[in-house]
Chain A
C-alpha cells in the first residue's frame, strides 16, 4: 500500500467498516441495513437486563430463555437474504 492510499477516503471507509461492524456504505441495500439494525437491537435487549425482564414477563418465559431466544435470532434476524440481482 502506498503512503497516499492511507488518506484516500475509500481506504478510510474500509478501515472503519472493518473496525466497526455496521458502518454503512453507498451500496448498502435495505436488507443489509435492516439486518444490522435488528442485530443491534437484540444486542441491546440482551445487554439491558430490565428490558430483557420486561420482554420475559410479556411472553411468560424465563429471562434465561428469553436471552437465548434473542441470541438465536441474531443469526437470521430478518429472514433469508433477498436474491442477488445480476450485476
Chain B
C-alpha cells in the first residue's frame, strides 16, 4: 500500500487537484501548504499508577506507541532509567508496573517536574461538566503525575474554597470502583486553586504566573492551558497566557475546542493569530469525538484484523454512512448554534474526522504525525458534489438543524464510493454510528432464497459509537429448520456484556494525551485547513442563496430529503431500515 512518509509529505508545499466537472462540483481544491517541519518536544513519561496495590488492572500501564520518549534533559539520570522502563514495557506487556518499580528500585512518580493545568473559563458549563470530572478521574486512576496543580481562571470573583465547592458538585467516581472515593476527592480538591482575572489582561495572567510558580516550588514546570471560552476571546487569552504565563523551564501547551472559525478564511485567520504566540506543537485542537472508545477502536479493527483490511476498498464496500443524531433540540441554547448550524457544528469536524480515520491508507506507524499525514492525505482528495440537503430551523432563521451530505474520495481505494453523512438535532433517537454497507454478492447462488430485495441481502458492518457501544456484522444466514430460507443475523459484540468496566469519557483520554504530548487524536493546522476547504464553498453558497431547509417534526426521523439524497447515490440509510 502506498503510504506517504512524513518526510515525503513535508516536501510538498502545495498541490492542486485538477478541476472536476462543473455541475455544482468544486472547482479547485488547494491542498494546504505545510509549515516548517514540526519539532516535537518530548513528553515526560507518565504512568498511571493504581493506588490500591495488588489489584493490577489492565489499564495501569499505558503503552501508547506514539509516545516516543526521548529525555528532555540528559543530565537527569532518572530520565534515562525511565526510558529503560518504557522499553521494557513496550517489549513485554505482561510485567506489571509494580514489578517494574521494584526492579528499577525507585518510585517512577518521584519526578522533579510538575504539571499545572489551568482551565481558562472555569465557571463555564463544559469546565464543570466535563473538564474537572475528567481531571479527577485521571487523578483517581493514578494517571496524573505526582506534582500536579489545577487552576481555575475566570472573570468571576471566587475564592479557592468556592471553586472547590463548585467543582465538588460534579465529581463522581466510576460506578465500578468506589473505594476511597470521598478521600480521593478531598485530596484532589486540595490541589485545585482559583485565580480571577480578565481574559485579555496581561497583568492578570502575570498574577496567575506568580501563583503557578509558587505551587511549582522551583521544579521544572510544565503548563497546560485548557481554553474553555467563547471563540472571540481565544486569541486574547492565548496572547496573554503565552506572553505572561508560559512555563520557563518545561513545555507550555494550549488545548482549544471548536469552533475553529466558521469557514476557511476565519479559520486561517485564527490559526495565523494563534501561531503568532504558539508553535504548531503547542496547539492541541480537541475534537472530543476522536476520544470516543469506538472511534479509537476503528483503527484497531482495521489494522489488527486480517479479515477486515482486504475488504476495505471500493471493490467490496458499496457505501459508508456516518450518522449522528440527538433526540433534543437547542433547548434555549440556540444563540451559539444559530450562528454555526449543524454542518459546522457536527459534520465538518466530528463526522469528517471519523471519515478520515476510516478511509486513510495504512500509516507508516501509529506515530501521531504518520496518522495525521494519512488523514490529511485522505482529506485532500475528498470532493463535494455540491449538493447538501435538508436543513430545518424555526422562525426566519435558515440555519439547518439537520443535514445530510454525500462525499466522495477521488483516490484509487475509494473512487466512486459514496460516503454519506447525516447529522441532526431533535430526532427520534440519540446515536452516533458508522455503517459500512458491502456490495452485493456477484452471481449469488442463493438469490432465489432471498427474494426480490437484494439490498436486504448485503453485509453491513456497524460500529455504534454511542449509546451502548457495540460492533456488529450483519450476515446472511439460513433460518434454522427444514427448507432453505435466508435472513440477516448479526455477529455481535456488545461492549456492555463483554467489558464490564465503565468506559472512560472522551475528555479523560484527550486530557491525558495532551499532558503526555500524544498528538494522535488532535487536529493539525493543515488538517483543519483541508477540512474547511471542503465545506466552505458550499456553506458560502447556502448562505448567499439563503437556501431554506426542509421542516421536520421534533422527535421525527428527519426530513425525507435525506432519503432522496441517498437514493441519488443508490444508497439506503442503514439506520432507518425495517430491522433497526
Decide whether A and B are members of one complex.
Answer: no
Chain B residues with CB under 8 Å of chain A are none
